[in-house]
Chain A
Amino acid sequence: MMRGERDEIPPGTLEMLILTTLATGPPRHGFEIAESILSVSEDVLQVEEGSLYPALQRMLLKGWIQGDWGKTDENRRARFYRLTAEGRRQLDREVDRYRRVARAIARVLATA
């Protein structure tokens, strides 16, 4: 681990990014998810793209996403992830929570 080289990502951010990515468009495999997240946020995955995979496993276990094996355009075997109903609810909850926290922080900063 390369600690201290950059700001720590708040826990759960990666999961939220994955949920957001999968919320729109067709099911995607790991590399596509990574690319999509990279285009949104350079920071999060810049250091270790590999950390995407344990996160995917965790979300599979929690039942937020589902992974089905299929073929890519180039006929390579890959696991395609898509959101489950539970995952969609989780995303809504996360977004709500984020907005609440953000508003609270904004208020705190405004009074400072």
Chain B
Amino acid sequence: MSLSQWRRRLAAILGRDRAASELEEEMRLHLELRTRQLREQGLAPEEAGHAARRRFGNELAVHEASAGVWGWTAWERLLGDFRLAFRNLYKAPGFTAVAVATLAVGLGMNVAVFSLVHAVMLRSLPYAAPERLVSLWEESFKGEPSQFTTSGRSLGGDTSAQRTTISPANLADYAGSPAFAGLASFDVAAKNLTGLGTPERLQGEGVSANFFDVLGVKPAVGRNFLPEEDRDGAAGAVIITDQFWRNRLGSDTNVLAHSIMLDAQPYQIVGVLPPDFQSPYQLTIPDRVEIYVPAAYPRELLTSRGDHEVNAVARLRPGVSVRQAQADLDVISASLGKQFQSTNRNIRAGIAPLRDDIVRNVRQSLWILLGASALIVLIACVNLANLLLVRATRRQHESSVRMALGGGRWSRVLQFLAESLTLAGGGCVAGLGLGFLLMQLLVWLAPQNIPRIQNVTMDWPVFAAAAAVALMTGLVFGMIPAWQSSQAKPAEALKTSARSTGARAQARWRSALTAAEIALSLILLVGAGLLLRSFVRVMGVDLGFQPERVLAVGVNLPELRYHDADRRLSFFEELERRVTALPGVQAVTFANRLPLRGGWGSGAYLESSPDVMRDADFQAVSPGYFETLGIGLERGRLLVHNDRKGQPHVAVVNQAFARQFLSGADPIGRRFRRSSQPWVTIVGVVNDIRRGGKTDDINPQVYLAAAQTDLYPVRLADLAVRTRSDPRQLVNAVQRQVWAIDKDQPVTNVRTLEEIISRSVAERRFEMVLLIAFASVAVLLAMIGIFGVLSYIVNQRMGELGIRVALGASPGRIVVMVLQQAGWWIIVGIGAGLAGAFTLARYLESLLFEIRHGDPWTYAAAVALLLAVSLAAALIPARRGAKVDPMTALRYE
């Protein structure tokens, strides 16, 4: 049928009343004209009317035939089917409620996870032509480059050791590639804001002048940065976010006349960003970025190819593919490698679509969650099919009668489909409602480092996906019972009574479906078990230091007022003295960075082997560091207040340092240095710590005395306080002490170490909690399935069981008999589930910590749990079978 025919048909269905009355009018005219003609031919008036009608035929039949032509009849039959389905379901509220609830739970979980996946991974980024945006990085291959330092924080956090941020010097070469329409760099640039209420540290980014142009964003007020503003030494310019403008400047319309003080320097406001703007970096962090300043890289950075410090985003020229651009970059990387042997030999640039790159660290766990939720939907569908089968069985008699009376098989199938589609529709609506609630729960539970987690909403793609799944469920799983019942043989079925149920095929179907449910739940159980065991392992890891009751605060002293190391040191020593005097304080220390809060990796040369650079975590710490963090001394001595400028340079190392660099020899008395800086003598050894958190490796550590680090590129920025009770209560007091020394100095990143640890395992906890929830729902659904099938079988065998009891079978014997029947499909289900779990669990491998995906204990525990639950579910109907009163049972027949 052509499109215009469909259109006319649809118009006819919509305008059916008018069409019918028009037809009526035509027919009336016809009859009148015919009557008149016959009268003129000499018939009596009454006779003429009758004859005209006779010749015309049955008017009602004409109406009906016309209605058939327009497709009204089929439409009406369909409506009738659904009306009947609705009435039937309404008359069976128990069945309807269970079926809709089952589907709602399955769909709801799926919808919630899918909306998360959609918002985080699939939705386009909020920029102009986002598909042409790519993320750029550099990676080292075949060992390490000769000179290599980085303190840059790369987009999305880093998991791969080879990937690094980009050297601005190399970036200029990459930007020359014809593949790019524009290439912009950005980096974190937090700044202290003063002069607008309490001093605060703002999250900010330092960006190249073309940053917003490359993203295709225009400020709502003002302009983008000018190239001359992006130069070292240029006067400060800042573009603020809409949020900054509203909250801190009261939506001042004259905003471009203002300048603000950042790190004690004036910055002229040149633009305000649109309200919905989020930078690529913003998408990956929960804190709001409020200011953007020109990157203005210093000249030495722009010429140093070994300094990998910045992130980059580029816009491909139209028609250029990521692959072509990558090929182009490979050529550039190779030529740089030849030209700058020492720095670029083993470095190459990599790119990926920006959207994929942002989520690369969470992608796998999200796919796994989506897969798990798909299994739940599958289980829900199987359960629904099972329920529908029971219902079809109960109505076998009705089907037979209908067919005996001439009802067609096809119309019976349609009837069942209408019913299952109505259920699917109800389940879809309920599932969307439940999904909406679950989605909010999910966002609330989710670790904040999932990119775009705050943008999760339910929108049309989510609705469409849910509706599609529901429709499929209704059609596919409604088909089984529909087909089954259309196979009814009227003659045979009528011979049996209305409540007895014959078809053995149905029992087979239902057993198979239940076995499938058991298999699917076992897969989820194994997954949840692996994640649970892995999480327990993670939580059991000894960090090597005691994070309890330790409060950490960041104090970032601005360069302008604290440009030399001595001033920073005296600030922190003064702060340490003041905080130590506070009530409830047990110990205080300061350092460049505390464990779990980033660090300063660097290389050094040992006196005993001066040719090999040793990579270790370096830190500048005050003498109270070890006591405050609970790190124990193994040999030698700790740092003391006397280790100051002018005294011999000393350091404390950890056991890993001795193990890895000295083959376990005693490090005390040995000396090392960083390139041309003074020799440092090792005076003590402390125990190992996992500096980066529970899942971090144990790395060599070097603790330098803070008072002796003025020559090093390291800044003191963290203060830690060990308290006697809740460390949170000291936050305000510590803040007041900071302001007592410098009223313009903000305190940032205030966290207890325990909070940081809890956050660091948040992703694992999230995955585990979700998978456990999925597995629980799966097992519950499987229980319902087993219970249902066995109840059905017991019902079916009521008469036989009654005879057995009458003939003296013990109740125990009957229970065993029924359980035996359940036994084989439970075993089949578990076997299939084990195979499935073993196949699928390998995708979990990357999420597991010190547990293999084939961990036999987990599998054994999952099987044992499922067996116990299955038996419990089977026991109820089995016991009912044993309690059959022979007389009642026999009277059924």
Residues of A within 8 A of B (CB): 1, 29-31, 34, 46-51, 53-54, 57-58, 60-63, 69, 76-79
Contacts and interface: CB of A to CB of B under 8 A. Distances in A.
Given A31-B34, A50-B27, A76-B29, 20 more contacts: A31-B30, A46-B55, A47-B57, A49-B30, A49-B57, A50-B59, A50-B61, A50-B62, A51-B65, A53-B65, A54-B68, A54-B69, A57-B23, A57-B66, A57-B69, A61-B8, A62-B5, A63-B4, A63-B8, A78-B29
B34 A49 contact: yes
Contacts, number: 70
A29 B62 contact: no
A72 to B, nearest CB: 8
The 5 closest A-B pairs by CB, nearest first: A48-B57, A54-B65, A50-B57, A50-B62, A31-B33
Interface in B12-68: 12, 22-23, 25-27, 29-30, 33-34, 55-59, 61-62, 65-66, 68
Contacts of B4: 63
A53 B23 contact: yes
A54 B29 contact: no
A57 B33 CA distance: 20
Contacts of B852: none
Nearest to A78: B29
A69 B62 CA distance: 20
B51 to A, nearest CB: 11
Most buried by B among A47, A50, A79: A50
Most buried by B among A47, A53, A76, A78: A53
A54 B66 contact: yes
27 contacts: A30-B27, A30-B29, A31-B30, A31-B33, A31-B34, A34-B30, A48-B56, A48-B58, A49-B34, A50-B56, A50-B58, A50-B59, A50-B61, A51-B57, A51-B65, A53-B23, A53-B26, A53-B27, A53-B62, A54-B68, A61-B69, A61-B70, A62-B5, A63-B5, A63-B8, A78-B26, A79-B26
Nearest to B68: A54
A57 B9 CA distance: 11
B29 A31 contact: yes
B26 A29 contact: yes
A102 to B, nearest CB: 28
A54 B30 contact: no
Q: At the interface, is chain A mostly helix, strand, loop or mixed?
A: helix
B35 to A, nearest CB: 11
B30 A30 contact: yes
A49 B62 CA distance: 10
Interface residues of B, number: 27
Nearest to A2: B57
A61 B29 contact: no
Contacts of A49: 30, 34, 55-57
Given A48-B56, A50-B62, A51-B57, A61 B30 contact: no
Interface of B: 2, 4-5, 8-9, 12, 22-23, 25-27, 29-30, 33-34, 55-59, 61-62, 65-66, 68-70
Contacts of A47: 57
Contacts of B25: 77, 79
Contacts of B5: 61-63
B799 to A, nearest CB: 51
Most buried by B among A30, A48, A61, A79: A61
Contact of B26 (A30, A58, A62, A63): A30
A9 B23 CA distance: 24
Contacts of B66: 53-54, 57
A47 B55 CA distance: 6
Contact of B70 (A29, A48, A51, A57): A57
Most buried by B among A31, A63, A78, A79: A31
A54 B66 CA distance: 4
Contacts of A77: 25, 29
Given A53-B62, A54-B65, A61 B9 contact: yes
B3 to A, nearest CB: 11
Contacts of A51: 57, 62, 65
A68 to B, nearest CB: 12
Contact of B8 (A34, A60, A76): A60
Given A58-B69, A61-B12, A63-B5, A79 B22 contact: yes
A48 B61 CA distance: 11
A86 to B, nearest CB: 9
Contacts of B62: 50-51, 53-54
A15 to B, nearest CB: 12
Nearest to A79: B26
Nearest to B19: A57
Contacts of A46: 55
Contacts of B12: 61
A54 B9 CA distance: 14
Nearest to A53: B62
A51 B56 CA distance: 8
A29 B34 contact: no
A79 B66 CA distance: 16
A69 B249 CA distance: 69
B9 to A, nearest CB: 6
A81 to B, nearest CB: 10
